[in-house]
Structure 1
């Protein structure tokens, strides 16, 4: 890496302004030219700048550290939470003088923040990296695009996520060599994101590609995750037998490798399937099984199952248990950040149970604008239809017609037929 790019990178990492770095050494305009590799400075000037930054003028590739960082990244890809967290907490080279080591650490730290659901830190990291995005080489750029895509996926900004995943795939299929498990991981996330966008045919294509690679690597856990996602796709297009087949295949693997959290995910999706075919009691049983199998850090997974329980108990008229799980849901949401989806779902059911006069206003002013903002078309359709029913019951037929039309339009956007 050119010395000017190195200086800019380490200055930004040290939270220094150009004025602070240049003070009593050179002018700010001259430093700017150095950082943009537009001029060649003297050795004396470069040494003074590097000394202030705490780095060496001449760097040597630290291959052992690079391998160590890539091994850490692989732990995150393999979903090995405890060793990944342990590595980060004990890693001693976070301020390496080697620019490649330092940049890869920043990149994989971004993935770590996403992996541990520290999205505020991830967002801050992305903003800082945008300041030196142009100095990343092609391999670094791949990881940057992939990780930013994963960040937007978790923020429910699926269109933005897909744009970054597309760029990552273009790099992946170019001349740059990546391990096959890396290819499979990107395909899995593209399948996941397409699923959330309602592009189910594309989702199935990418997940089947990922599954083929994982099976060739004998990666049982990731193969099971692919089977689960295929089941979700088939459930959404009402291919219930295919969905159940995939869930059973995944369950067999999860039981074989004794993976409790994976079983929790399978039970949840079986609950969704039973709910869709009108088997509320079976759905409730699976949602309860799911919660008991999910680890403490799996907050979003627990909330999804709690939401499922609330829906099913409300359907069968068991308002006492519905209220109990609503209380559990609110308590869990209050202790964590970035869970606006569930806050809206729970407030909605709270208003329903208490027959609040504020229900229609809440849907119109809070629920619909939020889900429209993040392009979650299925939730928009659901809440628009519920609002339409309320207005219809109150003989406000023009408003009812408007929201029923919105529901239909949103369903079309979500549907796999609209690809």
Structure 2
């Protein structure tokens, strides 16, 4: 019976003893038994206790019974990324005291983590994750898999891609009927530079998003599929795919997704050494992003590198952009971009020794710690070429050996 749980919740909320609540109605011992569901009681007693607590018991029971349904709906809204409705439900549930005594408190906490991560509030999210970790053994089978899913998303947000992949791979599909996780699993494979698996799961995610009629998430999955295809011969099909996605973003008025598509298109041009078009698309992507965010810094770093490699901007112009990026990275305390913009600072000033020393001592260990596979490969290639050029053969061989073994 839910009435006993509800009485105890409100009694403790109002800091009343069992004797105070029962005075003139029944004994404190009887209140204790009602709260622990160990006794029968007359309807009149329940009415009097409810009046003293200032609640309508029928209404409270109904709210408690409806919590699971409301949480399921919120979960669906989160999967579809309906941001306005998602936030409204978050604020409503935050005011719902009875969640604390429901059987779905952990489900609620896990959804709160997802909501916070989608709003880039990683520190707040981690606080709840720590709380859940302490009670992990109390999670239901579904909640346990949702926890692994949430943890994987958290690690992706923190750029800890190895941990993300391990957490998402631990999900038991037969016990977790939320195929959205395919998308995050595909993303984890992508960031670990495993394109075949990334494409496979991105395609499965695309099919799932189509089945629930959420076109914006279909765009996400299709973009993830597109960037796995490394057609170094004919680039026309890839360009066509990107332009189709850009048109889809415009049709759906999705500037955040358009920014991601433009960034990935810029990278495709950059790796083909078409620095002019790369810088143009990086710049377009930057203009659609919050200037004090990691995604903005990602495109800014690409814009500076492509402009530097293509000799498209003066040294002073590049240095001002680097200072802007480094200032923002320090302001938001993003260690990755503090490293990347420090490297750019040395690079633009042509301080080759300082650049490679910082790369070896600071950047590469951090890239390896967090599993930035692309940056690890790029860094080792740069270090090998540098050591070979200055005839430090032993160091060059060490780097070559680590590349081969990895």
Given the two structures, how large is their TM-score scaled by the length of structure 2? 0.78
Counterparts of 2:144 and 2:341, CA distance in 1: 40
Q: State whether residues 64 and 99 of structure 2, in contact with CA within 8 Å, keep that contact through their aligned partners in structure 1.
A: no
- Answer with 249-258 or 190-199: which moved more: 249-258
Structure-2 residue corresponding to 1:102: 105
Counterparts of 1:196 and 1:206, CA distance in 2: 13
Matching of residue 206 in structure 1 with residue 201 in structure 2: yes
Structure-1 residue corresponding to 2:396: 400
Structure-1 residue corresponding to 2:307: 313
Matched ranges for 1:376-395 at <5 A:
376-395=372-391
Counterparts of 2:33 and 2:167, CA distance in 1: 39
Bigger Rg over Cα: 2
Tell me the SS of whatever aligns to 1:234. Answer: coil
Structure-2 residue corresponding to 1:33: none
In structure 2, the gaps of 5 or more residues are: 14-29, 37-56
Given the two structures, how large is their TM-score scaled by the length of structure 1? 0.76
Matched ranges for 1:13-412 at <5 A:
44=32, 62-90=64-92, 91-93=94-96, 96-168=99-171, 170=172, 172-174=173-175, 178=177, 182-183=178-179, 185-235=180-230, 240-295=235-290, 299-317=293-311, 318=313, 319-337=315-333, 339-356=334-351, 357-410=353-406
In structure 1, the gaps of 5 or more residues are: 15-41, 49-55, 411-419
- Answer with 320-329 or 345-354: which moved more: 320-329
Distance 1:85 1:234, change over 3 A: same
Residue 397 of structure 1: how far off its partner (Å):
1.8
Counterparts of 2:194 and 2:234, CA distance in 1: 15
Distance 1:394 1:295, change over 3 A: closer
Distance 1:220 1:145, change over 3 A: same
Counterparts of 2:232 and 2:193, CA distance in 1: 10
Counterparts of 2:234 and 2:217, CA distance in 1: 23
Q: State whether residues 234 and 240 of structure 1, in contact with CA within 8 Å, keep that contact through their aligned partners in structure 2.
A: no
Distance 1:334 1:79, change over 3 A: farther
Residue 203 of structure 1: how far off its partner (Å):
1.0
Counterparts of 1:383 and 1:93, CA distance in 2: 51
Q: State whether residues 225 and 250 of structure 1, in contact with CA within 8 Å, keep that contact through their aligned partners in structure 2.
A: no
Q: Across the two proteins, how many residue pairs are aligned to each other?
A: 357
Counterparts of 2:203 and 2:233, CA distance in 1: 19
Any idea what the Cα deviations from partners look like across 1:57-98, whole Å, max 9, x if unmatched?
x98882433333333333332233344334434531156343
Structure-1 residue corresponding to 2:54: none
Tell me the SS of whatever aligns to 1:293. Answer: coil
Counterparts of 2:74 and 2:328, CA distance in 1: 30
Residue 195 of structure 1: how far off its partner (Å):
0.9
Residue 237 of structure 1: how far off its partner (Å):
7.3
Distance 1:208 1:78, change over 3 A: same
Q: State whether residues 96 and 102 of structure 1, in contact with CA within 8 Å, keep that contact through their aligned partners in structure 2.
A: yes
Distance 1:383 1:95, change over 3 A: farther
Q: State whether residues 258 and 285 of structure 2, in contact with CA within 8 Å, keep that contact through their aligned partners in structure 1.
A: yes
